Amino acid sequence: MSGTRGLLAVAFIGVIVSPTTSSNAIPLHDDGGVEERAVAAVLHRQAGDAETVLAAARGTSSVMCALAERAVESRIGTWGWAQIDVGAADEATQWALSERPDAADVAVLARGLQSTDDCERGIATRLLARSRTDEAVAALTDGLRATLPDARADAALGLGLAEAASALEPLTRALEDDAAAVRRNAAVALGRIEDPSSVQPLGGVLRGDPDPAVREAAVMALGLIESDVAVPALRDALDDAAAAVRRNAVWALVQIEADGAASAVAAVAGDADSDVREMVVWGLGQLEEGSAVATLETRLRDDDASAVRRMAAWALGQIEAESSVGALSSALEDDPDAATRAMAAWAIGQIEPEDGVAPLAAALRDTDPEVRRNAAWAIGQIEPASAPQPLIAAVGDSDAETRERAAWALGQIEDPAAVDALARAVRDEDASVRKAALWALGGIETPQAHDALLRALEDEDAEVRSRATRNLGRGHQGPWPWPAPRPMPRPFPR
């Protein structure tokens, strides 16, 4: 995580702990130790004083509380990702962001679980999850028996955040709770714990729970556990009435990579919901399923959702079947969505077919710069025997990144016919283009290429001069930093 995001997390905690003190404003543009000083400024309490935190949380607005809860979650185990250096901070800051609540704190937080205030209870839940002590897990487990349904739901959430394997049995019982929110959070928790013994009860939820949000959570959990035992229930879920459940079922089957997963997923490629279809074509590409090429070509050609067509082009590039070049070329020429055309160009470059050069060269005249960039890159990937004229002309494209990729591609091909264009590119206004052109010229052994490198020794950019020196008489000096687009779209369960 960037320092800015970590700082925002600190700021949200500060709003909760000291919501009315104007002197606690966070100096967002301070450049030295700001995160540590920000927390120290807003936490007016002794180290480990959980009571102060919970008291400040009471009555906080739902928006600010949600932000604070997320900030606390970001400090929990492997499911968190905040990176805030508090090594030199005072004790209060260290407790807030680094130390796990001790036994005395846990006792206070356990009482917070019984609060009727949503924010107080939510913060207590997350701090207990961060503690992960036996006492904290016991308090969260006891919370599953609370009278208030929201309290039971929070307790289940906390056990999942703590990845409390000792709570498998009570969480499994919670799958039968009267409140849907409790059942949902219990399913999510079992998925985070990733114990194979949870597969059977989660499969029962998937087949029988009346609430689609609970079934959706159960599917996600089964995908996280990644057990072949879950496959029959997940296959059945592909026919669920709720689109979100079907979408997650596709994701889970791909996660598990069980025998027959690809055929089961491909069978629902025509689902009525575009989000499901997008997940299907992603899954077929992720599995690199060669038998699915025809299905993917159909989605690329006929689907009315541009996100599905774009993902289908990506999937065909992943599979790298030369038989799909015709369909990809048609999409590159005719698809109304520029992002789909760009992805089709990328896919052709992945496959590297000789017959892909002509449609790629034509795409260098596309109105969208990303299409032109990918087309130039793809031709360089294929490395035809000679450079097509549109690629040579692309060194003068109005878009600097297209010019850079065209120069790179010409360096891949090493066609002497491109020397004049590359020599002009050595004087390009963009330093990246000049450097790519020099790299390309270094691989073309003609007097004209040599002369262009000599002229570059007087360039105003020091790196350009250095690259020209390295390339003179010695050919390419290592591979040019690959300007290739690397689209790896990965839709996740929701």
Question: What is the pLDDT averaged over residues 35-53?
Answer: 50
Q: How many domains does the chain have?
A: 1
Kindly indicate the confidence band of residue 95, based on its pLDDT and cuts at 50, 70 and 90: low
Angle at 407 between CA 473 and CA 329, to 5 degrees: 140
What does each C-alpha distance from 228 to 26, 196, 291 come to in angstroms?
A: 50, 10, 22
Q: What single-letter DSSP state applies at residue 101?
A: P
Contacts of 136 (CB under 8 A, 6+ apart): 101, 106, 109, 110, 128, 129, 162
How confident is the model over 385-403, as pLDDT tens digits?
Answer: 999 999 999 999 999 999 9
- With 80 as the cut, is the pLDDT of residue 92 above it? no
- With 90 as the cut, is the pLDDT of residue 491 above it? no
CATH code of the domain in which 482 resides: 1.25.10.10
Q: Say which range, 56-65, 82-91, 212-221, 247-256, has the weakest mean pLDDT.
A: 82-91
Question: What is the pLDDT averaged over residues 345-359?
Answer: 96
* C-alpha span between 261 and 152 (Å, rounded): 36
- 408 residue type, one letter: W
Kindly indicate the confidence band of residue 463, based on its pLDDT and cuts at 50, 70 and 90: confident
In contact, 74 and 80? CB cutoff 8 Å: yes
405 in a domain, yes or no?
Answer: yes
- According to the per-residue pLDDT averaged within each range, which of 99-108, 205-214, 450-459 is highest? 205-214
433 in a domain, yes or no?
Answer: yes
Query: Residue 290: left (phi > 0), alpha (psi -120 to 50), or beta?
Result: alpha
Question: What is the pLDDT averaged over residues 143-151?
Answer: 97
Q: Say which range, 15-24, 190-199, 301-310, 356-365, has the weakest mean pLDDT.
A: 15-24
How confident is the model over 410-442, as pLDDT tens digits?
Answer: 999 999 999 999 989 988 999 899 989 988 988
- With 60 as the cut, is the pLDDT of residue 197 above it? yes
Question: What is the pLDDT averaged over residues 178-188?
Answer: 98
Question: What is the pLDDT averaged over residues 151-161?
Answer: 98
Where are the alpha helices (H) located in 293-430, listed in sequence order? 293-302, 306-319, 325-334, 338-351, 357-363, 369-382, 389-393, 400-413, 419-425
How confident is the model over 55-85, as pLDDT tens digits?
Answer: 878 898 999 888 878 877 877 764 443 444 5
* C-alpha span between 385 and 112 (Å, rounded): 72
- 153 residue type, one letter: A
How confident is the model over 362-385, as pLDDT tens digits?
Answer: 999 999 999 999 999 999 999 999
Q: What is the DSSP string of 369-394?
A: HHHHHHHHHHHHHH--SS--HHHHHG
Q: Say which range, 285-294, 307-316, 456-465, has the weakest mean pLDDT.
A: 456-465
Contacts of 211 (CB under 8 A, 6+ apart): 180, 183, 184
393 in a domain, yes or no?
Answer: yes
398 in a domain, yes or no?
Answer: yes
Q: What is the pTM of this model?
A: 0.83
Residue with tokens 């180290």: 47
- With 50 as the cut, is the pLDDT of residue 251 above it? yes
Kindly indicate the confidence band of residue 474, based on its pLDDT and cuts at 50, 70 and 90: low
Q: Give the pair of three-digit tokens for residue 34.
A: 């700001």
In contact, 303 and 309? CB cutoff 8 Å: yes
- pLDDT value of residue 396: 97
404 in a domain, yes or no?
Answer: yes
- 43 residue type, one letter: L
- With 80 as the cut, is the pLDDT of residue 29 above it? no
Question: What is the pLDDT averaged over residues 5-20?
Answer: 45
Q: What single-letter DSSP state applies at residue 229?
A: G
Kindly indicate the confidence band of residue 2, based on its pLDDT and cuts at 50, 70 and 90: very low
* C-alpha span between 13 and 18 (Å, rounded): 9
Question: What is the pLDDT averaged over residues 435-452?
Answer: 86
- With 80 as the cut, is the pLDDT of residue 270 above it? yes
94 in a domain, yes or no?
Answer: no
Q: Give the pair of three-digit tokens for residue 181.
A: 């929110």
* C-alpha span between 49 and 388 (Å, rounded): 71
* C-alpha span between 291 and 277 (Å, rounded): 17
Which H or E run contains 201?
A: helix 199-208
How confident is the model over 306-347, as pLDDT tens digits?
Answer: 999 999 999 999 999 999 999 999 999 999 999 999 999 999
79 in a domain, yes or no?
Answer: no
85 in a domain, yes or no?
Answer: no
Kindly indicate the confidence band of residue 133, based on its pLDDT and cuts at 50, 70 and 90: very high
Could you tell me how many helices (H) and strands (E) the chain has, helices first? 29, 0
Question: What is the pLDDT averaged over residues 113-141?
Answer: 94
In contact, 236 and 264? CB cutoff 8 Å: no
- With 60 as the cut, is the pLDDT of residue 98 above it? no
Domain extent for 463: 353-494
